[in-house]
Amino acid sequence: MKFKYHITSPEMLRTFLQKNDYSKKTISAIKHNGALLVNGQAVTVRRQLVVDDVLEVYLSQEVPSLNLIPFIQPLNILYEDEYLLVVSKSAFQNCAPSKDHKHGSLVEQVLGYFNDMGLPITPHVITRLDRNTSGIVIFAKHGFIHYLMSQTTLAKYYYCICYGAVEDEAMIDAPIGRDPSSIIQRRVDNNGRQAQTQYKCLQRLPNYSLCKVQLLTGRTHQIRVHFQHIGHPLVGDDLYGGAHPIYKHQLLRCVQVSFVHPITHKTIEIHDKYDAIESIFNMI
């Protein structure tokens, strides 16, 4: 992956890179396994740039972890360009390997997709979903793009089905921390990190509600913990009080994301299907 710049003011190359959001880690990687060219000639970060110079930055070639075992299985691709890949994940699949599920993860599936196309790309997970949550997951095609995406604001929206009749709309503002009795579970804790979840009820049945939810912060298990906290656990979520005889995973799906693209600076809005959740709601 490379970037090309036309210099409009004199300054040191290192300063230019820093101004353009190249982290110290990225600059170091370029020096060891990449290239910096000014007017077609290799230079170092100490090069003094002048007006009308043409700078080409070749990012370092990344090598995926040996712990990842790529596999080929069709991906549900929602968006792809030179820098990002956005896919829809089904329930019962990890975004990345874990102690209990070492392989078969989405990142390994994406790596298999790139390998099959002959692309030497190492995917980086930008947005993660719990194993049993479905919907949109964003990958960067280089660590530098991952870093740039960490500097931007992501708006994320979900559909969920919860028990009981919730308010028409509300914001749940309750800090979340680890549950000391579990290595996995979280809970509302006054000593935890700030967490805010906005929701709007779309439909109600006597025992269930269908909601559209926006994450205003990004804590682990946030929606699941917050809905349990207000007395309306997600249907199928046996970790947070929502066990169901038929549905064995939480009925929660990421259906929309929007962000400013870190390279093109255009607003990108991506939608995933939510009719599956609506169909379940109408049958539940």
pLDDT of residue 98: 81
* pLDDT score of 92 more than 80: yes
Average pLDDT for 74-98: 95
Cα 208 to Cα 263: distance, rounded to the nearest angstrom:
43
Residues forming the active site: 130
- Which token pair is 201? 């009820």
Selection from 219, 257, 226 nearest residue 241 by Cα: 226
* pLDDT score of 283 more than 80: no
Mean per-residue pLDDT of the chain:
94
* pLDDT score of 47 more than 90: yes
Phi and psi at residue 33, to the nearest 5°: -155, 60
Average pLDDT for 254-279: 90
pLDDT in tens, 49-62: 999 999 999 999 99
- Does the domain spanning 62-151 belong to CATH 3.10.450.50? no
Higher model confidence: residue 274 or residue 231? 231
Two domains, one topology: 62-151 and 155-254: yes
Contact call for residues 107 and 125 (beta carbons, < 8 A): yes
Average pLDDT for 34-57: 95
Going through 81-229 in order, the beta strands assigned E by DSSP cover 84-89, 124-125, 134-140, 155-163, 169-173, 176-178, 186-188, 196-204, 208-215
- Does the domain spanning 155-254 belong to CATH 3.30.2350.10? yes
Contact call for residues 157 and 255 (beta carbons, < 8 A): yes
Pairing between β-strand 35-38 and β-strand 41-42 as defined by DSSP bridges: antiparallel
- Which token pair is 92? 């019962």
pLDDT in tens, 114-169: 999 999 999 999 999 999 999 999 999 999 999 999 999 999 999 999 999 999 99
**Residue partners of 244: CB distance under 8 A and separation at least 6:** 235, 236
Kindly list the domain boundaries of the chain, sorted by start residue.
2-58, 62-151, 155-254
pLDDT in tens, 222-245: 999 999 999 999 999 999 999 999
Continuous segment of H or E residues that includes residue 38? strand 35-38
pLDDT of residue 119: 94
**What is the pLDDT confidence band of residue 260, given thresholds at 50, 70 and 90?**
very high
Which residue has tokens 């280089």? 142
pLDDT of residue 279: 79
Average pLDDT for 170-175: 97
Give the percent of the chain with pLDDT over 90: 88
pLDDT of residue 149: 95
